[in-house]
């Protein structure tokens, strides 16, 4: 909205016109914020219990849990499996490999967002 305000300053010359447009711009911004709050309220009051409701409320934890499972498999479970198969001289094909080059940026983004959320809460910026 600041960019629009700068354009208004450069296009209109009269202070009265600038003031009217700024008021209209602020009204539009307030309306957008009001609509977003309505959407957030409807989302929070959702009582959907089927699979779509579950996924709607838990997609972020599900992504985090999936990433944690992949990291656990790649760095903890797979080395133990290979070790124990080697001890008992069991010959198997190669174990599946996780594409860590794609997974780690996702994990770092999730950790970064969680860290920012913690910082916001500690500074009492949000609830």
3-state secondary structure string across the chain = CHHHHHHHHHHCCCHHHHHHHHHHHHHHHHHHHHHHHHHHHHHHCCCCCCHHHHHHHHHHHHHHHHHHHHHHHHHHHHHHHHHHHHHCCCCCCCCCCCCHHHHHHHHHHHHHHHHHHHHHHHCCCCC
Q: Cα–Cα distance between 9 and 21 in angstroms, integer?
A: 10
pLDDT at residue number 2: 63
Cα–Cα nearest to 66, from 96, 58, 117: 58
pLDDT at residue number 84: 93
Mean pLDDT (the chain, rounded) = 83
pLDDT at 12 over 90: no
- Please state the domain extents for the chain: 1-45, 58-127
Cα–Cα nearest to 99, from 66, 71, 64, 68: 71
pLDDT at residue number 31: 93
Confidence band (pLDDT; 50, 70, 90) for 83? very high
pLDDT at residue number 44: 72
**Model-level pTM?**
0.53
Q: Cα–Cα distance between 65 and 56 in angstroms, integer?
A: 16
**Long-range contacts: 13-17, Cβ < 8 Å, 24+?**
none
pLDDT at residue number 74: 93
Confidence band (pLDDT; 50, 70, 90) for 14? confident
Confidence band (pLDDT; 50, 70, 90) for 111? confident
pLDDT in tens, 25-48: 899 999 999 998 988 887 777 776
């Amino acid at each position: 909205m600041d960019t629009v305000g700068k354009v208004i300053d450069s296009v209109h010359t009269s202070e009265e016109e600038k003031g009217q447009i700024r008021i209209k711009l602020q009204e539009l911004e307030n309306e957008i914020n009001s609509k977003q709050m309505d959407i957030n309220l409807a989302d929070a009051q959702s009582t959907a219990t089927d699979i779509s409701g579950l996924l709607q409320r838990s997609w972020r934890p599900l992504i985090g849990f999936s990433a944690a499972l992949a990291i656990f498999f790649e760095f903890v479970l797979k080395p133990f499996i290979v070790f124990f198969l080697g001890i008992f001289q069991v010959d198997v094909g190669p174990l599946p490999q996780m594409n860590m080059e794609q997974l780690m940026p996702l994990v770092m983004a999730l950790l970064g967002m969680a860290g920012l959320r913690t910082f916001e809460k500690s500074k009492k910026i949000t609830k």
